[in-house]
Amino acid sequence: MLSTPQYKTILIIAFLHFFTGKALAAEIITESHGFALYGDLKYPQDFSHFDHVNPNAAKGGNLRLMGFGSFDSLNPYILKGTSPFNSPGMFMYGFTELNETLLAGTGSYSPSGDEPQSAYALLAAKIRYPQNYAWVEFDIQPEAHFHDGHPVDAEDVVFSYTTLTEIGHPRFKQSLRAVTKVKAIDADTVRVEFDQADQAANILRFGEMPILPAHFWVDKDFERSSQTIPLLSGPYRVGDVKVGQSIKLERVKDAWFTKLPKGELNIYKGRYNFDTVVIDFYRDQSVAFEGFKSDSFDLFFDYTAKNWAKAYDFPALNEGKVIKAEIKHDIPSTTQAFFFNNRRKIFSDPKVREALSLMFDFEWTNKALFNGAYKRNQSYYPNSAFKATGLPSEEELELLLPHKKNLPVSLFESAFSLPKTKGNGNIRTVHRRALNLLKQAGWILKDGELRHANSGKVFSF
């Protein structure tokens, strides 16, 4: 039997192979309000808003933000120039000159706050796809309009794909390389076909493609329109622009997603509340921080451990007018590490690599140089569900045991943990462990030099 979860509908489409004489066959088609690459969507078809927002948040007010660097273009989709969105750190704000997409949750536009690799209908009202993901169809929201009142239709989707992959930034040709055909079935439906089946991520890659207004760009040079104010369809329109200095975004109070039969679009509910957002650009972080201290803008993201520990002592903060907060999150972190090139003979012995790892005094480094701001990674996948913890589980053992003879014994007997020092710079105990490992690998410490017992070569790299 086929299950029919509350968040999707399963359709059975039957078709006859007239010319081959084959029997009646059936293709299972899923129709849904979104797409999840891993497992199921968190939110059902009729969800009202994301859990991480306040659906009753007040609308209004002005937000002042800092941009870093500069910009000379308002087109974030071409290789030439730098747009506000493409300037450093801008993606964190969520206020940009980006066009809306068919699905939102992955990609650059309105990324998900609580799901990995899941996207929900935005300009698309629903999507359909077969079990093997060989194609996908998008039904466009009937109410979806650009800010000039022109409806968003299937031809806009075809135009966007053609324009972005042919003359847009190379990243679009790369991310959409699996697409073989984009066809407007009717004014509100687009069918996309892929070069191979069973590649589910292709649906997300197309769903996160920005949808451009074909009628707006028809008489403009997309590749050279560096300072043309773009026509959008989302919560904000681009207002005043001082190239390289500032950009003002104005909330569109009668945007299409506020007029839906069921009320405001669920993925926008409680979000994008400020009437205006002004972003002033600074070329120097130190100057920007001084501007923040003197109330030139409202929010400052600090990436410098020393600054975070020692620079926040000024009147506005002491008077409670500025709130200093460290926001904890569950976003998987990238890996920062020293990687050994095992093709070099000196690093080929695992005992040598372990000894060198022991000699790195993370605790002292963190305390003396970084004001205790860092936490040492114990995994290649820190802060994520893929992080290994404790001893291997039963499911993991099923995968590991066939290769047990080629794996270290410690993997099955003790949980992995990097050495931890007291942070006072005294690591003599660790030194002894490291020197013992090096000795086992053939490296002997004598007269203050580490040499190989057989060749006499000095240990160096």
pLDDT tens string 393-444 = 999 999 999 999 999 898 999 998 888 899 999 999 999 999 999 999 999 9
In this structure, is residue 461 part of a structural domain?
A: no
315 and 372 share one domain: no
137 and 252 share one domain: yes
312 and 365 share one domain: no
Q: Which domain covers residue 376, as residue numbers?
A: 345-452
Query: Could you say which DSSP state residue 22 is in?
Result: P
221 and 319 share one domain: no
pLDDT at 375: 87
CATH number of the domain within which 230 lies: 3.40.190.10
pLDDT at 26: 54
The number of CA neighbours under 13 Å toward the Cβ of 450 is: 17
372 and 433 share one domain: yes
pLDDT at 227: 86
pLDDT at 47: 95
User: How many structural domains compose the chain?
Assistant: 3
37 and 102 share one domain: yes
378 and 422 share one domain: yes
288 and 393 share one domain: no
In this structure, is residue 384 part of a structural domain?
A: yes
pLDDT tens track for 300-324: 998 888 899 899 999 999 999 999 9
Positions in the chain whose pLDDT score sits under 70: 1-26, 225
What angle do the packed helices 350-359 and 428-440 form, to 10 degrees?
Answer: 170
In this structure, is residue 238 part of a structural domain?
A: yes
Q: Where are the alpha helices (DSSP H) in 138-185?
A: 154-166, 170-175
pLDDT at 23: 40
Distances (CA, A) of 380 to 83, 352, 388: 33, 20, 9
